[in-house]
Amino acid sequence: MPAWRLSRHFLGRPASVTEARRFITTTLGTWPVIESAELIVSELATNAVRHTASARFGGKFTVSIQAEPDQVWLGVVDEGGPEVPRLVRPGDDEGGRGLLLVANLADNWGVYGNHTGRTVWALLKVDPIAAAQAACR
């Protein structure tokens, strides 16, 4: 299976989280990591809409997928903000548990950028044989 990349922009509003999920499920189709990918993008898109400048009037966020035979990279690019996304452990009173879910689902994840724009990304490893079989369905 050849590598490919696809991105889509969304308005920075809560209804766009559903659209971002649909983008993931439609694009990844029968890939074995589709359920994890959908949950991860849902959490990251929700964070972009709730905690960044993407939520302002006219704001947007971008969802990117980069697929290779053995992995899928997912990224959500927001328009930045004063707070740096961080992992919050259970029992903390603040929000941020969505990143804990992302950390548990993904094989790796991270954040890069600054207050003017950030990318929060997650990497899902894929069994290449399972991915090839799914592509034939």
CATH numeric code, 4-135: 3.30.565.10
81 vs 67: CA distance, rounded Å? 29
Return the H-helix or E-strand segment holding 101: helix 97-105
Domain ranges for the chain, please list them.
4-135
pLDDT in tens, 6-53: 999 999 999 999 999 999 999 999 999 999 999 999 999 999 999 999
More confident residue, 45 or 92: 45
